[in-house]
Chain A
Amino acid sequence: MAISIVVTSGKGGVGKTTTTANLGTGLALQEKKVCLIDMDIGLRNLDVVLGLENRIIYDIIDVIEGRAKLHQALIKDKRFDDKLYLLPAAQHADKTAINGEQVKAIIDELRSDFDYILIDCPAGIESGFQNAIAGADEAIVVATPEISAVRDADRVIGLLEKAEMAPPKLVINRIRSKMMQDGEVLDIDEITTHLAIELLGIVVDDDTVIRSSNQGEPVILDPKNQAAQGYRNIVRRILGETVPLMTIHEEKKSFFAKLFGKKK
């Protein structure tokens, strides 16, 4: 039986879709069978981040309106032999074309075939958000170290607590280590204590994340990247392992190291 996890944030542009794509890919790499559901109806882009946009034949609205069977609409990602599937959002409809009961029915139908179902939630707290959380057992709240993102995360956590699901967990995304070290933005402790929920992991801000999204290859596939390491740690924590929080401090190079270009 699959666990369904909704990835949400309230504020737009903090990295919900990127996080969903990377965590899904990471779980698939760990030999788990994963289904990603894009609930951002009308503004789909999870397919783009995964590089699957050309393979969409049917979407979630086609399934709900009976034009296609659920298994016909699922797109298999060939890179991860039979482990990663995507149920794409519709581009022509809007968020009112679907309701929470229907989402719940789809997720329940998928449960027996998968280990994890990740739901990519649209920004905002209106009907699209309510639909996305309707079928979820757990929630991951993504925030960036900005006051506006933390405020919106706070609002969303309140709504999730009201929906009576397991306590949501926090991912802090787009951390700029230098700014955080200099105290120019909220630090991880401040955000976590303020929001008073469990910290699932942190991901540093890295240009590669944007580059790889543009290429349709989730960054987690890059073994050396620091952001990918953050995502991999989150995946391991989702699987129940205890992984220490990675340090984000940039090592300061000594004068001589700078001078002679030695590695630390």
Chain B
Amino acid sequence: MSTKNVKLKGTKEGYTIVLHDVASFEEILIDLEELLLNISKQNNASTEISVHVDTENRLLSDEQLAKVYQLVEQHSTMKIGKVQTNVLTKEAATLWKESENVATLVTTVRNGQVVTMPGDVMLLGSIHQGGTLKAAGNIYLFGELKGIVHAGYLGDEDKVVFAKFNHDAQVRIGEQVQIIEGKGKNEPLEDTTFAYVNDLHILSFDQLDQIRAIKPKLGNQTGGLL
């Protein structure tokens, strides 16, 4: 069922109202109203049907979206589930890329500095006493850790920290904190280990060879965002 600019499609996942992107938004509203009236004439069912909205290559502002919601609510028993579109704002795209990207930092995080990153971060440098590295994602540290690392600082406890935990330091993942203490100068260097939050919500450490068993999903990002 369709009008010139608005189409109701049935798919495997249910019904989708497609708003063609070639028409102006005013035309869309007129056609959408017509379509909804047609549907309600034919269908007297009082049960609520969930419907998706596809705006194709068009981004609707919040006000425009509100008008679409209002029309659908007014003229039918349908309820809008998901609104999908083929396009993204640059802002949203940047955020998305940043949150998926492994940022590479070449610096020393010194006393008093707080470095905050939106996604995963690889630090080629040390974190000194009093310095803090926070990342929303995982942290891969190649230098010495003497300060504070905080992976998943927005509350994500799935994240991990890779580092050589050879010095007194503090490791945080999500809301869990572990203090490393009593590492003397003369203790042998440990192998690269990683820190993670286990099923009991306790921050624990393990050897690198255990990573596949503990975090099997970590390595399957083969590039590509979707």
Contact = CB atoms under 8 A, between A and B. Distances in A.
Given A154-B111, A159-B112, A161-B107, 7 more contacts: A151-B111, A154-B110, A154-B130, A155-B111, A158-B112, A194-B128, A196-B108
B130 A155 contact: yes
Interface in A132-164: 151-152, 154-155, 157-159, 161
Interface string B109-147: 011110000000000001011110000000000000000
A158 B129 CA distance: 12
A177 B110 CA distance: 28
Interface of A: 151-152, 154-155, 157-159, 161, 194, 196
B126 A158 contact: no
Given A194-B128, A196-B126, A155 B108 contact: no
Contacts of B126: 196
- Which secondary structure dominates where chain A touches chain B? helix
B141 to A, nearest CB: 15
Contacts of A157: 110
B130 A151 contact: yes
Nearest to B125: A196
Interface of B: 107-108, 110-113, 126, 128-131
Contacts of B129: 151, 154
A152 B113 CA distance: 12
A154 B131 CA distance: 10
Contacts of B112: 155, 158-159
A152 B111 CA distance: 8
A191 B112 CA distance: 18
B109 to A, nearest CB: 8
Contacts of B113: 158
Nearest to A159: B112
A157 to B, nearest CB: 6
Q: Which 5 A-B residue pairs are closest in the complex by CB-CB distance?
A: A158-B110, A155-B111, A154-B111, A155-B112, A158-B113
A50 B151 CA distance: 52
B120 to A, nearest CB: 23
Contacts of A155: 110-112, 130
